[in-house]
C-alpha cells in the first residue's frame, strides 16, 4: 500500500508539472487568450434608421448583467467583455426592445452586431397548468443544493459527498465518512436522475458520486410518499450534469494539507442535434484517507487513494422519447490508521514463537499493516416516453456491483490483542481477513396520468434482485479445557485456512427475488467443514 500510494503521489505531481508547463512554459503569444474582447455594432429601428441613446446590455449565460453601453448619435455602440464565454446582447429604449443575439467570445474578434428595435406591448396572460405536480415533501422538508452552492463551498467542486450533506441541518459526519441525519445511524436512500441506487456492501471508504458531477440535489426529510420505500431517513435525489451546446469543460489540480493531491477533469457537449454527453474523472491521494485515532496532525499508516469515473449520454429519439445511459465506477484503497505506543501481549508473542515462527518479533504498533479496498460499479438505462399531453411513463433498468476487501496483518495484530483473565491467561485473541461482495439489479416503471387540473394518478412497480457473499479468513488460537491454558498440542496452531468462510454461495445466497422475499434456506449455515479444523504440522 505504501509503495502504491507513493507511486500515485508521484504520478499526481507529474500531472501537476505538466499543467504548470502548459500554463507558463509555452510563450504567451502561442496560446494566451486576450484578457478582454470588444463587441461592436449598431442599433436601428424597424425602418432601418439608426437609433441614438439606446441602452445596449451584455449578459452572461446565467442572465447576469456584465456591462452596458449607450449608442451614439449614429446608433453605434462598443462593449468590452471581461473574459471569454457565451454572452447575449440586446438593446432597450423606452417601450422598444430588440432581439437577443448570442455571441461566443473566443480569441477571434466577433463580427459586428446589428440590433433592431421593435415596439413592445404589455399583454396579460392567464396561465393554467394542466399538470399539478405531486408534492412529496408536503409533510416534510426539502433542502436543495445547486451547482452554484457546491462551487461556493470552501473547496468548491473538490469537496466530498459527506461534506455537502453535512451542510444541511441535523446532519453530522463520523470519522469513516458516514453521515447521520436526525440521529439515525444510516437508512439513507440515494437516487441518480430519479433511479434509486441499490445498497452496497459498505460505503465507509469511498463516495458514491462526486459532487463535481452534480447539477443539483434535492434532500428530502420527514414524511415521504410510498414511492420512496422504507429507507426514508433522508432521500438524496441527485440530478447529474449533462451535455450542452456549446460545450463546457474544466481541468485542474487541487492540493492541500495532508499531502492531498486531486487532479480532475470534466467535459460536456453534444454530437449532432440529438445526442448529449458528459464525462468526469476524479483522482485523489492523501495521507489522511481515514481520520486517525491519534490527536492533532499526527497520522500513522493513513495513506489512501481513490478514483471516480462518471459517464452519461442522452439521446433524444423524437419529441416524445428519450434514452439516458449512465455509467459510474468508483475505487478506493485505504490504509487503516494505527496508534503508536501500544503494549505487546507477551503471552501471545511467546505462543507465536513456540508454534509458528521462532524468530518472530512484533513490529511497533504504528507499523501494523491493515488495508481496505472498495470498488463500486453502477449503470442504468432509462427510457422516458410521453404518451400524450397528460400521460407519461418511465422505464429504468439498473445494475450494481460492489466489493470490499479487508486485509489484516495477522501476527502483528495478534501481538497487540487480548487481555489477561484472573489466571493470567490471554482472553479472546483473533484477527481476520474479510472479503464481501454483492450484485444487484432490477427494473423500475413509473407512470403518471394527470386526470385534470385537480387530480393526478401515479403508479409503478420495481423488481429487485440481490446476491451477496461474505468470506472470512480467521487467525486465532484454541483454549485449553481443564487447565485453563492455551492448547499446546497439535491442535494449537494458528489457522490460515482459506476455507474458513461464511459461505453464501448457491444455496447460501440471501435471495432478494422478484417477490422481494428474503430466503434463508435451511442450508444457509456457517460452513465449518473438515478443512476448517485447526491444522498444525509440527
SS (H, E, C) 40-103: EEEEECCCCCECCCCEEEEECCCCCEEEEEECCCCCEEEEEECCCEEEEEEEEECCEEECCEEE
Question: Based on the structure, what is the number of domains in the chain?
Answer: 3
CB 114 within 8 A of CB 45: no
Residues 255 and 356 in one domain: yes
Residues 416 and 342 in one domain: yes
Alpha carbon distance 154, 211 (integer Å): 13
pLDDT, position 260: 92
Q: Among 240, 269, 304, which residue terminates a domain?
A: 240
Residues 399 and 254 in one domain: yes
CB 39 within 8 A of CB 103: yes
Alpha carbon distance 435, 372 (integer Å): 10
- For 110, the grid coordinates are 466577433
Burial 415-427 (b: 16+ CB within 10 A, else e): bbbbeeeeeebbe
491 domain-assigned: no
CB 198 within 8 A of CB 134: no
- Please give the C-alpha separations between residue 514 and each of 220, 381, 518, in angstroms, as whole numbers: 27, 19, 10
- φ, ψ dihedrals at 440, nearest 5°: -135, 140
506 domain-assigned: no
Residues 317 and 465 in one domain: yes
Residues 209 and 280 in one domain: no
Tell me how crowded residue 493 is: count the other CB atoms within 10 A of its CB. 17
Residues 338 and 260 in one domain: yes
Residue 505, exposed/middle/buried by CB under 10 A (0-12, 13-18, 19+)? exposed
pLDDT, position 20: 53
- For 146, the grid coordinates are 445547486
pTM: 0.64
- φ, ψ dihedrals at 252, nearest 5°: -165, 170
pLDDT, position 8: 59
Helix-, strand-, coil-residue percentages of the chain, each rounded to 5: 15, 45, 45
DSSP 29-42: HHHPPPS-EEEEEE
504 domain-assigned: no
Q: Which of 326, 219, 346, 230 is nearest to 279 (CA)?
A: 326
| pLDDT per residue as tens digits for the range 186-229 | 678 889 998 988 877 565 445 678 899 999 998 888 777 777 87
The owner of cell 507511486 is 7
Q: Which residues pair with 349 in a beta bridge?
A: none
pLDDT, position 478: 66
Residues 228 and 294 in one domain: no
pLDDT, position 222: 76
Alpha carbon distance 172, 403 (integer Å): 26
Residues 406 and 282 in one domain: yes
Alpha-carbon torsion 146, 152, 157, 163, what sign? Answer: negative
Alpha carbon distance 74, 525 (integer Å): 91
Alpha carbon distance 72, 228 (integer Å): 61
Contacts of residue 3, defined as CB under 8 A and 6 or more positions apart, other chains included, come to none
521 domain-assigned: no
Domain residues for 60? 37-119
Give the domain CATH number at 304.
2.40.170.20
Q: Which of 286, 288, 267 is nearest to 278 (CA)?
A: 267
Q: What is the mean pLDDT of each run of 10 residues along the chain (538 residues)?
A: 53 59 46 64 89 91 88 90 86 90 84 89 70 58 87 88 84 76 79 85 62 90 77 86 90 90 94 94 90 78 92 94 94 90 87 86 91 93 92 94 92 80 59 92 92 84 90 77 39 40 38 38 37 37
pLDDT, position 385: 95
Residues 314 and 334 in one domain: yes
Burial 169-207 (b: 16+ CB within 10 A, else e): eebeeeeebebbbeeeeeebbbbbbbbbbbbbbbbbbbb
pLDDT, position 434: 93
Question: In the chain, what is the greatest distance between 2 CA atoms, to the nearest angstrom?
Answer: 112
- φ, ψ dihedrals at 402, nearest 5°: -140, 145
Alpha carbon distance, N-terminus to C-terminus of the chain: 33
Residues 155 and 252 in one domain: no
Amino acid at each position: 500500500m505504501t509503495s502504491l500510494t507513493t507511486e500515485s503521489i508521484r504520478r499526481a505531481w507529474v500531472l501537476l508539472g505538466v499543467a504548470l508547463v502548459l500554463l507558463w512554459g509555452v510563450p504567451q503569444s502561442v496560446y494566451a487568450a486576450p484578457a478582454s474582447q470588444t463587441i461592436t455594432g449598431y442599433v436601428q429601428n424597424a425602418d432601418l434608421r439608426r437609433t441614438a441613446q439606446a441602452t445596449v446590455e451584455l449578459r452572461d449565460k446565467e442572465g447576469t448583467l456584465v456591462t452596458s453601453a449607450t449608442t451614439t448619435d449614429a446608433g453605434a455602440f462598443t462593449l468590452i467583455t471581461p473574459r471569454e464565454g457565451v454572452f447575449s446582447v440586446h438593446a432597450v429604449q423606452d417601450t422598444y426592445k430588440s432581439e437577443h443575439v448570442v455571441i461566443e467570445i473566443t480569441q477571434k474578434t466577433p463580427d459586428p452586431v446589428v440590433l433592431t428595435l421593435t415596439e413592445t406591448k404589455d399583454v396579460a396572460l392567464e396561465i393554467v397548468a394542466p399538470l399539478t405536480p405531486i408534492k412529496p415533501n408536503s409533510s416534510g422538508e426539502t433542502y436543495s443544493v445547486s451547482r452554484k452552492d457546491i462551487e461556493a463551498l470552501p473547496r468548491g467542486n473538490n469537496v466530498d459527498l459527506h461534506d455537502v450533506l453535512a451542510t444541511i441541518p441535523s446532519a453530522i459526519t463520523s470519522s469513516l465518512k458516514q453521515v447521520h441525519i436526525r440521529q439515525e445511524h444510516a437508512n439513507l436512500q440515494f437516487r441518480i436522475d430519479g433511479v434509486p441506487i441499490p445498497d452496497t456492501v459498505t460505503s465507509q471508504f469511498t463516495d458514491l458520486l462526486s459532487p463535481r458531477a452534480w447539477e443539483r440535489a434535492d434532500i428530502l426529510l420527514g414524511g415521504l410518499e410510498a414511492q420512496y420505500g422504507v429507507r426514508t431517513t433522508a432521500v438524496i435525489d441527485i440530478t447529474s450534469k449533462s451535455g450542452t451546446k456549446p460545450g463546457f469543460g474544466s481541468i485542474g489540480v487541487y492540493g492541500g494539507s495532508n499531502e492531498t493531491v486531486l487532479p480532475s477533469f470534466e467535459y460536456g457537449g453534444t454530437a449532432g442535434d440529438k445526442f448529449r454527453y458528459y464525462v468526469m474523472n476524479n483522482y485523489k491521494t492523501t495521507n489522511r484517507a481515514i481520520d486517525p485515532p491519534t490527536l492533532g496532525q499526527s497520522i500513522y499508516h493513513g495513506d489512501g487513494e481513490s478514483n471516480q469515473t462518471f459517464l452519461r449520454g442522452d439521446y433524444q429519439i423524437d419529441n416524445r422519447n428519450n434514452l439516458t445511459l449512465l455509467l459510474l465506477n468508483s475505487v478506493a484503497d485505504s490504509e487503516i490508521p494505527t496508534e503508536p505506543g501500544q503494549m505487546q501481549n507477551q503471552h501471545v508473542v511467546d505462543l507465536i514463537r513456540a508454534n509458528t515462527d521462532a524468530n518472530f518479533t512484533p513490529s511497533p504498533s504504528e507499523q501494523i499493516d491493515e488495508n481496505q479496498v472498495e470498488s463500486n460499479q453502477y449503470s442504468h438505462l432509462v427510457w422516458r416516453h410521453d404518451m400524450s399531453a397528460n400521460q407519461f411513463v418511465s422505464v429504468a433498468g439498473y445494475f450494481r456491483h460492489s466489493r470490499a476487501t479487508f486485509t489484516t496483518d495477522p501476527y502483528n495484530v495478534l501481538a497487540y490483542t487480548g487481555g489477561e483473565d484472573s489466571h493470567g491467561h490471554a482472553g479472546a485473541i483473533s484477527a481476520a481477513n474479510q472479503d464481501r461482495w454483492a450484485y444487484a439489479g432490477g427494473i423500475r416503471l413509473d407512470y403518471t396520468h394527470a386526470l385534470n387540473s385537480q387530480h393526478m394518478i401515479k403508479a409503478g412497480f420495481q423488481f429487485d434482485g440481490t446476491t451477496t457473499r461474505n468470506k472470512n479468513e480467521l487467525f486465532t488460537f484454541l483454549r485449553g479445557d481443564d487447565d485453563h491454558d492455551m492448547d499446546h498440542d497439535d491442535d494449537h496452531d494458528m489457522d490460515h485456512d482459506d476455507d474458513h468462510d461464511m459461505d453464501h454461495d448457491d444455496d447460501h445466497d440471501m435471495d432478494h427475488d422478484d417477490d422481494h422475499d428474503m430466503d434463508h434456506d435451511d442450508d444457509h449455515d456457517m460452513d465449518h467443514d473438515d478443512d476448517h479444523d485447526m491444522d498444525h504440522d509440527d
